[in-house]
Structure 1
Amino acid sequence: MSEHETYDRLIALLDAEGAQYRLIDHAPEGATEVVSELRGNSLAQAAKCIVVMVKVGKKVTRYVLAVVPGDRRVDLNAVKALLEGTYVSFASRDIAERLAGSVSGTVLPFSFDEKLELVVDPALLEHEEIFFNAARLDRSLALSTKDYVRIAAPRTEAVAG
Structure 2
Amino acid sequence: MKSPAVLAACALLAFASASRAATHRLDDSASQVFPPSAAWDWVPGSLRTGINTVHLNVRVVVRIDTRAWAGRQGQIYMVLPVDSDGRVTAEWRSQGRLLDGRLVSGERALVFSGTVRGPVIEDTLHVRLTADARTLVGDSQRLNFHFELDTP
What TM-score, normalized by structure 1, do the two folds share? 0.23
> Highest CA radius of gyration, 1 or 2?
2
TM-score of the superposition, structure 2-length normalised?
0.24
- Decide which structure has greater strand share: 2
- Greater fraction helix: 1
